[in-house]
Structure 1
Amino acid sequence: MTGSAALSARNARRRPRLAAAVVEDLVTAIVTEVYAAGSALPPENVLCDMFEVSRTVIREATTALTEKGLVVSQQGRGTIVQDSVRWSLLDPMVLAALFQRDDGLVYLDNLIEIRTALEASMAAKAAERLTADDAAELTGQLEKLDALLGTPAAYVHEDVRFHDIIMRISGDRLSEAIINSIQGKALKNISYSGKLNVEHIRDTHAAHKQVYDAIMKRDGEGAARAMREHIQGSWKKRRPTSLK
């Protein structure tokens, strides 16, 4: 391979990563209202200088922003930021940026409302669909959680697995996909996860046992109620007063 061909190959490999980094920065800037709705993004040449990339990368990034509903190109005006009603709110980058806004707590509260409704329903379905193999798997996970009560960080990791098992047992793939898509980004936000402490973990474990007991009894209504109380109660304990 000649020197110029090798350079071209390296640039081709770098471009997607460069474009993704530019897109992420611009998504965050738009969603957090550094660029307000109705305003224009800086011209291509200015963005090239800002990010130290080529016009090709900026055009790829602009295309991605358009696909996410964040901007629209207007003749004579440039790339215009769209109103938030047009944003693709379930897009992973947009979601992550929403939780960084000054009013990000509103979106975290909304996430809890969505989780409560969907996971309560899935807990009820899990109770109705439970098989012997499912019961053994859920029991094993609860026992694993029981052994981790003194190590909050490890408990939180397995806590997610406990919920995943219940969602899988429910057979409700659409609700599971919605929760995983929105919660995956929220879990990286310290305001959502809260400060870890043993007292909170013990309360969480007690709530898990109530959900578990109802599912094992095949009590759909009780499982839904226990899951609802668990999610809402846990959020009430760890919810910050603000994101500042």
Structure 2
Amino acid sequence: MSESFATVEPLAEYPTLAARARAPRLGVTVVAALVDAIVRGDLEPGTSLPPEGVLCEQFGVSRTVIRESAKRLEEKGLVSVAQGRGTTVLPPTSWNMVDATVLGALVANDATLGTLDDLAVVRASLEAITARDAATRRTDNELARLRDALVLMRETIGDEPSFNQADVVFHEIVGEITANRLADSIVRTLFTEARASARFHLHSELDITLREHERVFAAIEAQDADEAEAAMRSHIVDAWERRRPPSPKR
């Protein structure tokens, strides 16, 4: 990175960034801290990252760690590294939104819940595809595993954490049945980051959630692809509407 830095103030303004990085696996935490700063808008598009010397001092790491961190940011679409011009922050249109670190920062810093709203729409579309595929591809053994997950949901309806874990297993099995590995992989990333947000975990009516899963299961059991797709799409959208905390719409 270039030492000719004048567009962004040293990160002394952001002491929490350095504090987060002074931990094991410094390269990972430096990247996470800088991703968070970029997503939050502390480091704006078109500006340069602070010079290596400043970042080394702020984070207490070597130049090698900072250079490797810049490469990781570039891979995520957050910055452009150019010899002699330093490391420039890119606009959100360049970011890899399904990268786990980027998506996690977007969810954590989204006051309007717009990212979680978008996540629900995308997840509903992709999981509808996987449910449709599962209905046409499922074997008797896979159906039995799905039934077991549904039974566990019924048995744990009075224990929300256990119920939610059975819910996750149900969706994972549907994803495993599908032939669309790309859709399943993206869904897992989206779901993982959504569940990591405290705003995703408001109490939801478990009896309604159970009925929605029963509808999905019945469609997959009957090998009704159209119904499986519709049932899963409706479940994802409606479940988020029930969970969504009050906040300004975008």
What letter matches 1:23 in structure 2? V
State TM-score, norm by structure 1.
0.86
State the alpha-carbon separation in 2 of the partners of residues 147 and 194 from structure 1. 20
State the alpha-carbon separation in 1 of the partners of residues 213 and 185 from structure 2. 22
State TM-score, norm by structure 2.
0.84
What letter matches 1:167 in structure 2? G
For residue 125 of structure 1, the aligned residue among 122, 133, 138 is 133
For residue 170 of structure 1, the aligned residue among 162, 178, 185 is 178
**Over aligned residues, Cα RMSD in angstroms?**
2.1
Does 1:194 pair with 2:201? yes
Q: Find the counterpart in structure 2 of residue 22 from structure 1.
A: 30
State the alpha-carbon separation in 1 of the partners of residues 128 and 31 from structure 2. 36
State the alpha-carbon separation in 2 of the partners of residues 228 and 203 from structure 1. 15
Q: Find the counterpart in structure 1 of residue 15 from structure 2.
A: none
Q: CA deviation at 1:163?
A: 0.8
Q: CA deviation at 1:103?
A: 5.0
Contact 1:153 1:196 in 2 (8 A): no
SS at match of 2:87: strand
Structure whose residues are more often helix by fraction: 1
Counterpart mapping for 1:196-235 below 5 A = 196=203, 200-235=205-240
Q: CA deviation at 1:120?
A: 1.4
Structure 2: unaligned runs, 5 residues or longer:
1-21
Q: CA deviation at 1:104?
A: 6.0
What letter matches 1:225 in structure 2? A
What letter matches 1:150 in structure 2? G
| Number of residue pairs the alignment of both structures matches | 227
Structure number, greater radius of gyration: 1
Q: CA deviation at 1:20?
A: 1.1
Does 1:34 pair with 2:39? no
Contact 1:120 1:228 in 2 (8 A): yes
Contact 1:95 1:185 in 2 (8 A): yes
Q: CA deviation at 1:84?
A: 1.4
Structure 1: unaligned runs, 5 residues or longer:
1-13
Q: Percent identity?
A: 40
Q: CA deviation at 1:82?
A: 1.0
Does 1:68 pair with 2:76? yes
Q: Which moved more, 1:69-78 or 1:142-151?
A: 69-78
What letter matches 1:183 in structure 2? F
What letter matches 1:220 in structure 2? A
Change beyond 3 A, Cα 1:102–1:211: closer
Change beyond 3 A, Cα 1:229–1:33: same
What letter matches 2:218 in structure 1? D
What letter matches 1:240 in structure 2? P
State the alpha-carbon separation in 1 of the partners of residues 246 and 209 from structure 2. 21
